[in-house]
Amino acid sequence: MTKSLFLAVLLVSPFALAKKQNEPNIHTRGLLKKITCSYHGSGKTPTGESIGSVDFADPEKTVCDPLGSGSANNSENGLFAKLFVKSPEMSSPVKSVMDYYNQGVKLDQDLYFSDVNVPTRIFTDGFATKNGEVLVDASGNKLIENFAIEYTSVLKLSDQDREGHYEISLLSDDGARLFVKEAGVWNELVNNDGVHPTRLGCPYRTVEMKKDTELPIRILYYQGPRYHIANVMLWKHHKKAQSWKKPSSHSLCGIQSNSFFYNPKTGKKQAAVKVLEATGWDVVAPANFHMPPLKPNPCVEPDFAISDFKVASLAAPNAEITWSTNFPSTSQIYIVNIFTGEEMYTTVDTEMVTSHKAVLSGLIHGLQYQIQAISVDAKGKEVRSPAVMLLP
């Protein structure tokens, strides 16, 4: 076996997997006892696209999952939105979402949703930014009423969806309107505007969706007086194109009640929603919403991961080990003497870094070692590199 660097990825041994990262050195009575480790990490904040991280938006201006419908699974999915509040010029009471859109005050904060699926319920939580600041209205009160949201996204079929013509509807309390961009022009598809309890607003016609269709959408929604909110986007597949001169003339379109579709206290489906599902209606899934071009969803954090783990240099008695993490985290090395079975964990370096370097000293020429990098992020999540062999 060569005396130069020998590096090969191995499966982690069962006994190695059973050990915890913060466990003290074990079985170090023999040759491993002489090994020491020093650390030289850097980069206290995420280091960018080179390690697969998402652009991190200003936490003071970023609101994630504002209505509690859930977070998107990856940065390409979701809806981008802006929040509007009443201006002095607006009449009271407001009767249309377009009053907010045309005369309201647009706030600086950016909102990110995974989907449009907020069944009828009480809304008292308000809007909190990533750094915990709760948005308030012009009077300094928590913003739980008299606001509007402008959603933008791109609608696509998932692998499970059938090509065809889709009837898209909005179940909302209060008003909501849906626009789609076709051939460069924004066309209104659903008008469910006005002050009302939860009501199913249906389209004037269907839209054709193929596997490669990318349909830009814009939803204008507003919440009037407290406390109930609802905003659910549903669709139904048709084999042929359909149109309706009076959208409320079929299905349950036009019916309104805060307890007819969902139980406002529990959010559970009532008989009306079960009837809609039985007749082919489905809530549009998170996988169907794609962020607008060049606008990744910053509320979706990638999985904590190690990358670029390697032995940068090796010459007994020293070895330099480097790796990267996509979030600031601690540094530690797990070592096994292959010939004797001895194993140890180096002392944890608690400095939170993204570029990690560990320098091992005391390695014995001719002995074979198995090593593994370990990092733990600020949330306590541990990640380990593949195990590798080295022969100094």
Residues 6+ apart with CB under 8 A from 249: none
Give residue 287's pLDDT.
94
Q: Which of 35-49, 90-104, 113-127, 234-248 has the highest mean pLDDT?
A: 234-248
Range with lowest mean pLDDT among 24-38, 107-121, 335-349, 369-383: 24-38
Q: Where are the chain's structural domains?
A: 9-48+303-390, 59-290
Structure confidence at residue 18 as a pLDDT band (50, 70, 90): very low
Both tokens of 199, joined, read 């009501």
Could you tell me which of 375, 372, 360 has the C-alpha nearest to residue 330?
Answer: 375
* 119 or 26, which is more confident: 119
| Residue in 355, 380, 321 with CA at minimum distance from that of residue 44 | 355
3-class DSSP assignment, residue 127? coil
pLDDT tens column, 271-327: 999 999 999 999 999 999 999 887 888 888 778 899 999 999 999 899 999 999 988
Pick the more confident residue, 55 or 35. Answer: 35
Q: Range with the lowest mean pLDDT among 53-57, 317-321, 345-349, 385-389?
A: 53-57
Same fold, 9-48+303-390 and 59-290: no
The CATH class that applies to domain 9-48+303-390 reads mainly beta
Going by pLDDT thresholds of 50, 70 and 90, the confidence category of residue 236 is very high
In degrees rounded to 5, what are phi and psi of residue 339? -75, -35
Q: Is the peptide bond before 262 cis (omega within 30 degrees of 0)?
A: no
The CATH topology of domain 59-290 is Jelly Rolls (2.60.120)
Residue 9 has pLDDT above 50, yes or no: no
Q: CA 388 to CA 12: how far, in whole Å?
A: 9
By residue count, the chain amounts to 392
> At residue 50, does pLDDT exceed 70?
no
Based on its alpha-carbon atoms, the radius of gyration of the chain, rounded to whole angstroms, reads 28
Each residue's pLDDT tens digit, 74-85:
889 999 999 998
Residue 5: how many other CB atoms lie within 10 Å: 14
d(CA 123, CA 128): 13
Residue with the bigger pLDDT between 302 and 52: it is: 302
Q: Which two tokens stand for residue 131?
A: 């750094």
Burial readout 27-63 (b: 16 or more C-beta within 10 A, e: otherwise): ebeebbeebebebebebeebbeeebebbeebeeeebb
How confident is residue 29, by pLDDT bands cut at 50, 70 and 90?
Answer: low
Write out pLDDT tens, residues 100-122.
989 999 998 898 999 999 898 88
The pLDDT of residue 136 is 74
> Who contacts 15 (Cβ-Cβ below 8 Å, separation ≥6)?
343
Nearest alpha-carbon partner for 312 in 374, 363, 357: 357
pTM above 0.85, yes or no: no
